[in-house]
Amino acid sequence: MGGLQVIAFENVGFNYGGGELLSDVTLRLAPGSFHFLTGPSGAGKSTFLKLAYAELRPTAGRVSIFDRDARMMTRDDVAMSRRRIGVVHQDCQFLDHLPLATNVTLPLTVANRTGDAQDLTALLDWVGLGKLADALPPSLSGGERQRAALARAIIMSPDVILADEPTGNLDWEMSLRLLTLLVELSRMGKTILVATHDMNLIRQAKSQLAARVLRIQNRRIQLAGADL
Amino acid sequence: MKLTLPALLAPDRQADRVVPPSGFTAQLTSFTAGAMAFLAVFALALSLASGRLAERWASALAGTATIRISAPPEQLDTQVATVLALLSTTPGVASARALDTAEQRALLEPWFGPDLPVDALPLPRLIEMTEASPGYDSQGLRLRLSAEAPGAVLDDHTRWRRPMAQAAERLRLLGGLSLLLIAGATAAMITLAANAALSANLPVIRVLRLVGAKDAYIVRAFVRRFTLRALTGAGIGTLIAMIGVALLPRADEAGAFLTGLGFQGLGWLLPVLLPPLTALVAFAATRYAAFRTLKGLT
Ligand SMILES: Nc1ncnc2c1ncn2[C@@H]1O[C@H](COP(=O)(O)OP(=O)(O)O)[C@@H](O)[C@H]1O
Ligand SMILES: [Mg+2]
């Protein structure tokens, strides 16, 4: 990995056309770091993540992704950067006409790297979906979809994993299971950012590894205290 | 990943499957391509047939004319000689000769039978002349004939053909124009169908973008599908139309215009070009529509 940060925000502001949603955000995600991003619903967590994977461009300041200014990136550059950033969407979207296994290997397919899919069975077993390889996405439960989304996000062995409320519609047991997967990925050296407003999950994580907690408050991002 | 026609036709099942099959737009594209190719075959046949006709009539224009001399028997030979002399000095006349009795009899035989006593009848004498190019001035020739051989009438039978040749020429142009319009309408219809398919598949496109697909990859999945459908549809349409043309009743050389509608010799190869051309139109139209849709997405 080249630079000292994989994703960096410098004085970033963003608005959807109304008032400014995020102002003067400065933040660096160092390689191998684990961050939580919290804040009330509507605070801009998803927006922040979209800025981080160049789905949105900042309206002020500068977002660098792998040391490249997001505003200078062409559409192909964005596509290439997504191969290094695994995203677990808030509302996990799949190609509903294709079986789970094909959906999970989709990042390899579109990158013409289908040959690298040997580990698929191991990966599906790891997220506990080994028996559902041939199931169509609409038949999966919320928890299964979240884990499938995680599997799809990591199949390219990305440097960064961005997860938007990955436990949003999971029960506690399932949430813990997903957290365990994320902790394992972190130990492999991945840079991880998880947006969530689940404080229990954050406490649970902090007992397992050193995670920083960021909070969106008054349009700014602050480091939250240790007294969560 | 290059987006070329040969690359498109190479089988790529993976890329094909990422876009869900879309029954209705698929059928619409095949049907449009088929119907348009069907029409194009007839426009092409019309254009080729009228082209042949225009050529034939134009060459007939540069062909022959007849001068008919009716006079009392004692003046006939003199007038024939006068006219021949006159024609030999007329610019634009390549050759002229008087038909002999045997030839005249042969001309009349179909109507009056072989026993016609040609010598005994007060038949006009015929002089057949061949036009040079550029042709003679028929108005001037008429004036000189009436002055020097009052019994001579120039039968410029090519006259009535001139507007026909022009009409045939015009028909050929209209046929060509129809082909262009058909190509344009095909492009428009396929663009509409492609746009419908693209909007219906926006969620799919978003997922593909999210997992790192480049625009060219997504475009290819759509373009390939529409190109192949257009190729198949146009192939079927062309085949049916060509069978239709081949089954048209055929008349001989002198055949009237309608029975001359068809392809001759190498002309049969032209409609075979229609399916690949339709595929090319579909390729360009879908590619344009797809890139335009993608530009509007992040
Ligand atoms: N595409 C959009 N256009 C306009 N406003 C949007 C759009 N997406 C989100 N918003 C608004 O921005 C605010 C933050 O949204 P979001 O980033 O999804 O918050 P969070 O993920 O923290 O719940 C919300 O008020 C939301 O209504
Ligand atoms: Mg959100």
pLDDT at position A29 over 90: yes
Cα–Cα distance list, B7 to B4, B12, B292 (Å): 5, 9, 21
Short-list A185, A180, A120, CA closest to A159: A185
Q: For the residues B45-53, what does the mean pLDDT come to?
A: 84
Whether A150 and A175 share a structural domain: no
Q: Which of A146-150, A219-223, B1-5 has the lowest mean pLDDT?
A: B1-5
Residues A166 and A77 in one domain: yes
Instruction: Tell whether A209 lies on the interface with B, counting CB pairs under 8 A.
Output: no
Q: Are residues A110 and A57 in the same domain?
A: no
Residues A10, A51 within the same domain: yes
The residue-averaged pLDDT of B281-290 equals: 93
Among A107, A125, A157, the domain boundary falls at A157
Please choose, from the candidates B153, B155, B133, the residue with its C-alpha nearest in 3D space to the C-alpha of residue B143.
B153
What three-state secondary structure class fits B268? helix
Structural domain for A31, as ranges: 1-84+158-228
Residue B90 pLDDT exceeds 70: yes
The dotted CATH code for B63-156 is: 3.30.70.3040
Q: Which of A111, A126, A157 is the last residue of a domain?
A: A157
Same domain, A146 and A127: yes
Quick one: A186 and A150 in the same domain?
A: no
- CB atoms under 10 Å from CB of B241, counted, come to 23
End-of-domain residue from the set A157, A178, A208: A157
> Is B36 within 8 Å of B275 (Cβ atoms)?
no
Structure tokens at B60: 């007939």
The answer to whether the pTM exceeds 0.80 is no
Ranges A27-41, A43-57, A147-161, B251-265: which has the least confidence: B251-265
Closest CA of chain A from B12, distance in Å: 11
Mean of pLDDT values over B56-74: 77
pLDDT for the residue numbered B132: 79
Q: How confident is the model at residue B60, as a pLDDT? A: 65
pLDDT tens per residue across span B127-153? 888 877 777 887 888 888 888 888 888
Residue A89, in any domain of the structure: no
pLDDT band at B159 (very low <50, low <70, confident <90, very high): low
Q: Do A56 and B209 touch (CB under 8 A)?
A: no
> Structural domain boundaries of chain B?
5-58+165-295, 63-156
A43 C-beta closer than 6 A to ligand 1: yes
Residue nearest to atom 9 of ligand 1 (CA): A47
Distance from CA of B219 to the nearest CA of A (A): 12
Quick one: average pLDDT of A17-45? 93
Structure tokens that stand for A130 in this block: 């080994």
A71 pLDDT more than 70: yes
CA distances from B106 to A210, B98, B111, B124 (A): 116, 14, 10, 14
CA A44–ligand 1 middle distance (angstroms): 6
When CB atoms are compared, the residue of B21, B204, B209 closest to A95 is: B204
Note whether A165 and A75 are same-domain residues: yes
Q: Are A218 and A40 in contact (CB under 8 A)?
A: no
A100 and A212 together in one domain: no
Handedness of CA A190, A191, A196, A198 (dihedral sign): positive
Is the previous residue joined to B114 through a cis bond, with omega within 30 degrees of 0? no
Q: How many CA atoms are closer than 13 Å to the CA of A210, on its beta-carbon side?
A: 3
Q: Give the pLDDT band of residue B75 (cuts 50, 70, 90).
A: confident
Atom of ligand 1 nearest to the CA of A43: 22
Q: Is residue A59 within 8 Å of residue A13, measured between CB atoms?
A: yes
H helix or E strand, kind and range, residue B281: helix B274-295
With contact defined as beta carbons under 8 Å apart, do B194 and B290 qualify? yes
pLDDT of residue B46: 86
For A126-181, the pLDDT digits (tens) are 888 999 999 999 999 988 998 999 999 989 889 999 999 998 878 888 889 889 98
A11 and A100 both lie in a single domain: no
**In terms of domains, do A74 and A183 share one?**
yes
B295 token code pair: 């530009």
A 74-103 near B (Cβ less than 8 A):
75-76, 79-80, 82-83, 87, 89, 93-98, 102
Residues A98 and A70 in one domain: no
d(Cα B267, Cα B259) in Å, to the nearest integer? Answer: 16
Q: Is residue A127 part of a domain?
A: yes
**Which position has the higher pLDDT, B297 or A64?**
A64
Reference A202, options A218, A183, A187; nearest CA is A183
| Lookup: tokens for B196 | 């419908």
Nearest chain B Cα distance for residue A53, angstroms: 9
The tens digit of pLDDT for each residue in B7-16 reads 555 556 566 6
Residues A115, A88 contacting (CB under 8 angstroms): no
Q: Give the SS3 label for residue B126.
A: strand
Q: What is the pLDDT of residues B241-258, one digit of tens each?
A: 999 988 877 655 554 555
Q: Which ligand is nearest to the CA of A39?
A: 1
Among partner residues B204, B210, B215, which is closest to A87 by beta-carbon distance? B210
Given a cut of 50, whether residue A2 has pLDDT beyond it is no
Q: Which of A80, A89, A95 sits opposite B18 (nearest CB)?
A: A95
CA atoms of B52 and B169, how far apart (whole Å): 9
Strand partners, B68: B126, B153
Query: What is the C-alpha separation between A105 and B27, in angstroms, rounded?
Result: 30
CB A140 within 8 A of CB A132: yes
Measure the CA–CA gap between B166 and B80, rounded to whole angstroms.
34
Q: Is the pLDDT assigned to residue B156 strictly greater than 60? A: yes
Confidence band, pLDDT 50/70/90 cuts, at residue B158? low
Nearest CA to ligand 1 atom 10: A16
CA distances B151 to A23, A163, B17, B64, B128, Å, are: 108, 107, 86, 20, 16
Weakest-pLDDT range from B24-28, B93-97, B191-195: B24-28
**CA-based nearest residue to A62, from A4, A5, A11, A6:** A11
Rounded distance from Cα A42 to ligand 2 centre (Å): 7
What's the CATH number where A182 sits? Answer: 3.40.50.300
Same structural domain, A116 and A223: no
Instruction: Please state the atom number of ligand 1 nearest to the C-alpha of residue A41.
Output: 23
Mean pLDDT along residues B30-37: 93
Strands B93-98 and B152-155, bridge-based pairing:
unpaired
